[in-house]
């Protein structure tokens, strides 16, 4: 078993176990070429396990910092939609205007359900300053009737207040697949539908090393298909920094999947420099980031990653990571100190890249709205365009490092942010008016 797991004996003969059988995909190189063509803004075309172990949910409530009462004028008491909209320069007019073909979705797993009543209460408390919807347009799959989950509540509430007044769907894939998220099941559901939301956010992930290589490649092929269809898929980068794997040969950083897929846009996390004020952002030390051990570095990020590796003065020892792998995250947003309403209770200090991901996704839906109004196709797979923008439209996050192995060699520190792209906060956080400008043309 992987580190931290102990075999406690044979499984009883009556225990049931679900297995996945999937057909090996053919002609993937042609698909790869198609994704390149449809996602490159310069291109003239637009087409329209048995060995896996669960990972505990990483979304957490961190204790808030102590408030210095002398500073208590013009302070906020945690991140709310108003704080998000202020920091990212959204006006009350930056909302969906009812474009019929625009919609967004978040995917829920691990028996996480949202409650309509929580969304209503959240909007009553925090949605006064901007037009928004008070209910989800469609739930695909089964919504259980149990207690609301914090993750599901957070995703729905922030997707719908960043991508405000945009029709929102929730994909609900309950049940476990070999004890983890049934990502493949969800992706096959998407592949089976002809008309579906343009932007999907997913705040779930697993350690790459906990999944079989065959499964990783099979899920990656589905992600590639979604990119070829022009869908924008965002994944949280994870909440353990560079992560840590304690193997027989010592420590390694531990990448997260699907964050490490080259066909998704991965979102890291930041904090305000002053936690109680709307200030510039610094690294949130939990922000997941690093290099895939499975997927090689895609061409679109070659220059950015080479530049980072070539110009960093404090890189961790090279034995800890695979410098030639797909590097992530691609972008970031605030991930620290959110208010969420769950089971009728407003809960403060909810933190994680689970929060930054729906926020970034909602903003991309607002960009799609403007693109559609201007007769342009939706953004589709963002990364080739994003890397060609070289940080235009984003606030560069240049201060702070994320966490990693607590050993003598790296002493708890993974990578550090610096000007330009870095594997902690990607290209940075959205400055909406500038991002819209950069993403409107061509
Ligand atoms: C919000 O969306 C609805 C359609 O769902 C539209 O009729 C309304 O005008 C939009 N509100 C704003 C302020 O654009
Ligand atoms: C795919 O869609 C068809 C038609 O709606 C439905 O009958 C079928 O069950 C779906 N398959 C999956 C795997 O969702």
How far apart (Å, rounded) are the C-alpha atoms in residues 60 and 115?
Answer: 20
pLDDT band at 412 (very low <50, low <70, confident <90, very high): very high
pLDDT band at 74 (very low <50, low <70, confident <90, very high): low
Tokens 């914090």 -> residue: 150
Q: In the predicted model, is pLDDT for residue 100 greater than 80? A: yes
Q: Is 397 annotated as a binding residue?
A: yes
Domain extent listing, the chain: 80-440
User: What token pair was written down for 432?
Assistant: 């909406």
Residue with CA at minimum distance from ligand 2 atom 2: 192
Residue with CA at minimum distance from ligand 2 atom 4: 192
- The atom number, within ligand 2, closest to the CA of 192 reads 1
In the DSSP assignment, the letter for residue 64 is P
Residue with CA at minimum distance from ligand 1 atom 11: 97
Helix runs in 192-267, H state only: 213-228
CATH architecture, range 80-440: 3-Layer(aba) Sandwich (3.40)
Ligand nearest, relative to CA of residue 99? 1
- The atom number, within ligand 2, closest to the CA of 188 reads 13
Q: Which of 269, 144, 255, 155 is nearest to 205 (CA)?
A: 255
Please give the residue that has the higher pLDDT: either 221 or 67: 221
Q: Which of 70, 74, 61, 66 is nearest to 279 (CA)?
A: 74
Share of residues in the chain with pLDDT > 90 (%): 67
* Least confidently predicted of 96-100, 108-112, 127-131, 359-363: 108-112
Q: In the predicted model, is pLDDT for residue 55 greater than 50? A: no
Q: What is the pLDDT of residues 161-182, one digit of tens each?
A: 999 999 999 998 866 766 677 8
How far apart (Å, rounded) are the C-alpha atoms in residues 92 and 87?
Answer: 13
Please state the φ and ψ torsions of residue 303, each to the nearest 5 degrees: -65, -45
Q: What is the pLDDT of residues 413-424, one digit of tens each?
A: 999 999 999 999
Q: In the predicted model, is pLDDT for residue 229 greater than 50? A: yes
| Dihedral over alpha carbons 191, 194, 197, 201 (to 10 degrees) | 0
- The answer for 150, left when phi > 0, alpha when psi is -120 to 50, beta otherwise, is alpha
Instruction: Report, as residue numbers or ranges, the catalytic residues.
Output: 151, 155, 354
> What 3-state class would DSSP assign to 364?
helix
Tokens 């090996």 -> residue: 24
How far apart (Å, rounded) are the C-alpha atoms in residues 94 and 369?
Answer: 10
Name the pairing type of β-strands 199-202 and 232-236.
Answer: parallel
* Burial group, residue 64, by CB count within 10 angstroms (0-12, 13-18, 19+): middle
What is the sign, positive or negative, of the torsion defined by CA atoms of 127, 128, 133, 136?
positive
Q: In the predicted model, is pLDDT for residue 157 greater than 90? A: yes
Ligand 1 centroid to residue 380 C-alpha, Å = 23
Please state the φ and ψ torsions of residue 327, each to the nearest 5 degrees: -100, 145
Q: Is 336 annotated as a binding residue?
A: no
């Amino acid at each position: 078993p992987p580190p931290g797991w102990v075999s406690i004996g044979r499984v009883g003969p009556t225990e049931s176990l679900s297995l996945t059988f999937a057909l090996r995909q053919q002609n993937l190189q042609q698909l790869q070429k198609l994704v390149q063509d449809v996602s490159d803004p310069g291109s003239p075309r637009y087409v329209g396990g048995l060995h896996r172990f669960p990972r505990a949910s990483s979304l957490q409530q961190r204790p808030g910092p102590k408030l210095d009462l002398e500073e208590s004028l013009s302070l906020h008491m945690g991140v709310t939609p108003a704080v998000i909209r202020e920091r990212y320069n959204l006006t009350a007019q930056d909302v969906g205007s009812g474009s019929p073909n625009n919609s967004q979705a978040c995917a829920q797993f691990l028996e996480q359900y949202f409650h309509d009543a929580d969304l209503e209460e959240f909007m009553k408390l925090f949605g006064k300053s901007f037009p928004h919807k008070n209910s989800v347009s469609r739930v695909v799959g089964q919504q259980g009737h149990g207690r609301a989950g914090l993750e599901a509540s957070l995703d729905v509430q922030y997707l719908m207040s960043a991508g405000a007044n945009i029709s929102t769907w929730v994909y609900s894939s309950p049940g476990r697949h070999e004890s983890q998220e049934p990502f493949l099941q969800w992706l096959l559901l998407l592949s089976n539908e002809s008309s579906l939301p343009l932007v999907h956010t997913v705040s779930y992930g697993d350690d790459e090393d906990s999944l079989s290589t065959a499964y990783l490649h099979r899920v990656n092929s589905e992600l590639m298909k979604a990119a070829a269809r022009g869908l924008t898929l965002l994944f949280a980068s994870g909440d353990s920094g560079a992560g840590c794997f304690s193997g027989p040969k010592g420590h390694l950083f531990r990448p997260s999947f699907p964050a490490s897929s080259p066909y998704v846009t991965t979102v890291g996390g930041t904090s305000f420099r002053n936690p109680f004020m709307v200030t510039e952002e610094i690294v949130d030390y939990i922000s997941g980031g690093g290099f895939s051990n499975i997927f090689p570095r895609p061409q679109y990020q070659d220059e950015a990653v080479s530049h980072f590796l070539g110009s960093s003065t404090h890189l961790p020892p090279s034995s800890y990571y695979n410098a030639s792998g797909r590097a992530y995250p691609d972008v970031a947003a605030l991930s620290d100190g959110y208010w969420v309403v769950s089971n009728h209770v407003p809960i403060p200090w909810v933190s994680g890249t689970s929060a930054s991901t729906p926020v970034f996704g909602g903003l991309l839906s607002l960009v799609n709205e403007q693109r559609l109004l201007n007769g342009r196709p939706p953004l589709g797979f963002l990364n080739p365009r994003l890397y060609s923008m070289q940080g235009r439209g984003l606030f560069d996050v240049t201060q702070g490092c994320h966490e990693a192995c607590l050993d003598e060699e790296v002493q708890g520190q993974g990578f550090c942010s610096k000007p330009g792209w870095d594997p902690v906060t990607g290209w940075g956080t959205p400055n909406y008016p500038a991002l819209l400008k950069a993403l409107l043309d061509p």
